[in-house]
């Protein structure tokens, strides 16, 4: 994951469905397959689709995560079938999934299965506060909190090579920093492996435990280095020291602990795979692509190398057999992205997800010996006909300064020049996020109800090279916003969108863009949908949680420094220009949001009301920075559609 996206995935990045990225575990660092298994979808004929209710859309399941059981006869995953996420187990041969956790309050996610018995690790926070703990499900079904503490945040870092212990980190000692521990599965008594007092992001641990690789942010969100720590000598060494700006991100050590593999864009616009020899200190380039390489991983014994590339809002992946350099032949699979790959310890099986615009993610398992793949879940509500949904289409348009802006277009099935649709410019979180192709319930819900959507990758988005990535630095509220205004003009040019019925919608940083659009370009958009968006940069940057301390300097460079540039931040903060907001706005906010705190939304709503503006406000008492509960998603998406129907679709025609 690039440095900027890594920072903002922790701060202002919201996953494509306005749910926390953690819920699917297939978004930020998508895992693996063997080739470009993305095909162009055949668009359905322009017919009047059947419309579905929000209840029908929410009856579709979201699934994610995977962990093979000790005997590799089943796979553990999480699903929100019950209304919130719980852990399930499904046989690799197929059949009904068995629910293993029974939470009715907090969404619970699979972390890892134990190697020798039926115990497993899972995680959850409380009410969306993001202070996740690691929990052990004992053989008798009881729960054991392995990382207690009211304000403790914990992270699972992986298994040891012998599978007799696992690594994790917590900020229990100091809220700003994460110490690394190893915990044997025999007695579950942790031992400190590394005490952090600097602010490093964990990367990987070598199989022989001699080295830990860390990521360290530089002065900007587009600059970072890799530090290598020796557990024997306690020496910390920067192995990617460089001139200028370059991103370096550790990925994995090889099986024999000879090399550290990492991602870098030093000297190039796009990220490539390189490796560092642990004995000689030599560095060499391993693999390049005409796009950003996202990651590299190896199966447990090094038989397979897996590489993912971020190619035009789609994940292109390959698996290569290291000994032969050949790619296993996968069977024919449904069109879509293949993500979330998990190769079993025996290297005989591979779990993965297939996800496409009209088909939500489903879990598959592939047998390397037989060459057969078996689908294990059926996520889409059977009441919904996929032909009534729409495929995303990658498009490009020129912005105000000639810069080419990529976007994903969703055209309602019945939208034509004679039957024009209202439109919505959608803005992702980040700002270093990316609009992508996989299924999104809220997006399909809006398109199914007649809204054309343009999901914009404005300047500053990831996936399009270094120059595009840094083009928004210290320009927020201006150039990236102007890209969104040009996106509106692009929608107008299509011929099937009502020119005076185009709104703007976004979550997190995208919510900020909504507020900025209504405040700084008040004549452009007919309405706005702000989902936990920033209204006051001064306060947001001053109130970031302590465990983001390591990225504070680069974050200030990216957005602005509240200590030295308060006036600049006030200038780009919609709250201080709320008197200019004249178009209808709906604001949605999680009460327990630790990233964009509730006062951000309270104050912009109050300011608009005082000026007599039209604003609706929906607060979710048991959510944080996103939605983890179906009932809240249902309430949110229904409120958004009702708002758009009233103030956008119902607006006077041009």
Q: For position 357, what pLDDT does the model report?
A: 94
Helices 630-644 & 441-448 angle (0-180, nearest 10): 30
CA distances from 542 to 516, 537, 538, 539, 590 (A): 20, 8, 6, 5, 19
Enumerate helices (H) and strands (E) in the chain, giving the number of each: 11, 35
Q: Is the pTM of this model over 0.75?
A: yes
pLDDT more than 70, % of the chain: 92
CB 277 within 8 A of CB 259: yes
* Joined tokens for residue 556: 């200030």
- Return the closest-CA partner of residue 296 out of 2, 24, 37, 32: 32
pLDDT digits (tens, 9 = 90+) for 366-395: 999 999 999 999 999 999 999 999 999 999
* Joined tokens for residue 455: 């999901």
pLDDT digits (tens, 9 = 90+) for 301-334: 999 999 999 999 999 989 999 999 999 988 888 8
Q: For position 582, what pLDDT does the model report?
A: 96
* Joined tokens for residue 460: 């500053």
Q: For position 42, what pLDDT does the model report?
A: 43
What's the average model confidence in pLDDT over 353-365?
95
Q: Is the pLDDT of residue 27 over 80?
A: no
Quick one: pLDDT band at residue 654, thresholds 50, 70, 90?
very low
The helix/strand/coil state of 579 is: helix
Q: Is the pLDDT of residue 169 over 60?
A: yes
Q: Is the pLDDT of residue 7 over 60?
A: no
- Return the closest-CA partner of residue 221 out of 378, 430, 519: 430
Q: What does DSSP say about strands 154-159 and 165-170: parallel, antiparallel, or unpaired?
A: antiparallel
CB 176 within 8 A of CB 163: no
What H or E segment, with its residue span, contains residue 5?
helix 3-9
Q: Which residue has the higher pLDDT, 641 or 594?
A: 641
pLDDT digits (tens, 9 = 90+) for 70-107: 999 999 999 999 999 999 999 999 999 999 999 999 99
- Return the closest-CA partner of residue 488 out of 461, 528, 448, 430: 528
* Joined tokens for residue 305: 């190398």
pLDDT mean across residues, the chain: 91
Q: For position 547, what pLDDT does the model report?
A: 75
CB 108 within 8 A of CB 122: yes
d(CA 93, CA 71): 13
CB 315 within 8 A of CB 31: no
- Return the closest-CA partner of residue 176 out of 540, 545, 542: 545
Query: Domains in the chain, ordered, with CATH?
Result: 386-649 (3.40.50.1820)
Give backbone dihedrals phi and psi of 415, rounded to 5 degrees, phi first: -80, 125
Quick one: pLDDT band at residue 532, thresholds 50, 70, 90?
very high
d(CA 541, CA 559): 9
């Amino acid at each position: 994951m690039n440095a900027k996206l890594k920072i903002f995935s922790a701060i202002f990045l919201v996953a494509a469905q306005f749910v926390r990225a953690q819920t699917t575990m297939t978004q930020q660092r998508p895992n693996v397959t063997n080739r470009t298994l993305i095909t162009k979808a055949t668009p359905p004929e322009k017919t009047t689709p059947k419309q579905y209710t929000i209840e029908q859309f929410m009856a579709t399941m979201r699934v994610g995560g995977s962990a093979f059981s000790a005997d590799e006869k089943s796979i553990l995953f999480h699903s929100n079938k019950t209304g919130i996420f719980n852990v399930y187990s499904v046989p690799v041969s197929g059949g009904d999934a068995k629910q293993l956790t029974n939470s009715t309050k907090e969404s619970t996610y699979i972390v890892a299965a134990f190697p020798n018995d039926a115990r497993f690790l899972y995680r959850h926070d409380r009410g969306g506060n993001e202070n996740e703990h690691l929990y052990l499900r004992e053989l008798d079904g009881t729960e054991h909190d392995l990382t207690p503490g009211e304000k403790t945040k914990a992270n699972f870092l992986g298994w040891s090579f012998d599978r007799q212990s696992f690594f994790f980190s917590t900020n229990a000692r100091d809220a700003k920093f994460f110490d690394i521990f190893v915990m044997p599965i025999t007695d579950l008594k942790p031992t400190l492996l590394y005490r952090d007092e600097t602010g490093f992001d964990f990367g990987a641990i070598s199989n022989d435990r001699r080295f830990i690789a860390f990521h360290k942010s530089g002065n900007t969100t587009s600059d970072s280095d890799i530090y290598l720590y020796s557990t024997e000598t306690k020496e910390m060494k920067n192995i990617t020291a460089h001139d200028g700006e370059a991103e370096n991100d550790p990925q994995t050590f090889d099986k024999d602990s000879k090399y550290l593999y990492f991602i870098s864009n030093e000297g190039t616009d796009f990220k490539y795979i390189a490796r560092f020899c642990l004995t000689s200190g030599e560095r060499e380039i391993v693999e390049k692509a005409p796009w950003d390489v996202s990651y590299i991983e190896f199966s447990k014994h090094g038989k397979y190398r897996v590489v993912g590339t971020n190619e035009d809002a789609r994940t292109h992946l390959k698996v290569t057999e290291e000994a032969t350099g050949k790619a296993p032949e996968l069977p024919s699979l449904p069109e879509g992205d293949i993500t979330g790959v998990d190769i079993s310890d025996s290297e005989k099986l591979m779990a993965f997800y297939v996800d496409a615009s009209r088909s939500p993610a489903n879990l598959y398992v592939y047998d390397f010996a037989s060459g057969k793949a078996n689908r294990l879940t059926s996520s889409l509500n059977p009441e919904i006909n996929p032909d009534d949904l729409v495929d995303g289409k990658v498009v490009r348009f020129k912005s105000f300064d000639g810069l080419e802006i990529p976007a994903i277009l969703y055209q309602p099935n019945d939208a034509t020049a004679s039957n024009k649709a209202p439109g919505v410019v959608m803005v992702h979180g980040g700002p270093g996020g990316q609009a992508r192709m996989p299924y999104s319930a809220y997006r399909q819900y809006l398109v199914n109800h007649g809204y054309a959507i343009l999901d914009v990758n404005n300047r500053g988005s990831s996936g399009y090279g270094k120059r595009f990535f840094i083009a928004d630095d210290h320009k927020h509220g201006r150039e990236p916003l102007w890209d969104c205004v040009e996106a509106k003009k692009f929608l107008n040019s299509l011929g099937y969108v009502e020119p005076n019925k185009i709104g703007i919608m976004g979550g997190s940083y995208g919510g900020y863009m909504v507020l900025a659009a209504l405040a700084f370009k008040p004549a452009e958009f007919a309405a706005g949908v702000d989902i936990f968006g920033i209204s006051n940069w001064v306060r947001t940057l001053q109130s970031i949680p302590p465990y983001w301390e390591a990225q504070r300097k680069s974050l200030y460079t990216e957005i602005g420094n509240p200590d030295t540039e308060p006036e600049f931040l006030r200038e780009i903060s919609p709250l201080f220009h709320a008197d200019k907001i004249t178009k209808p706005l709906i604001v949605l906010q999680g009460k327990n949001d630790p990233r964009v705190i509730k006062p951000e939304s309270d104050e912009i709503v109050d300011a608009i009301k005082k000026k007599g503006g039209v604003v609706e406000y929906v607060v979710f008492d048991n959510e944080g920075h996103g939605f983890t509960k179906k009932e809240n998603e249902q309430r949110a998406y229904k409120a958004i559609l009702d708002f758009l129907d009233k103030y956008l679709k119902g607006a006077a025609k041009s």
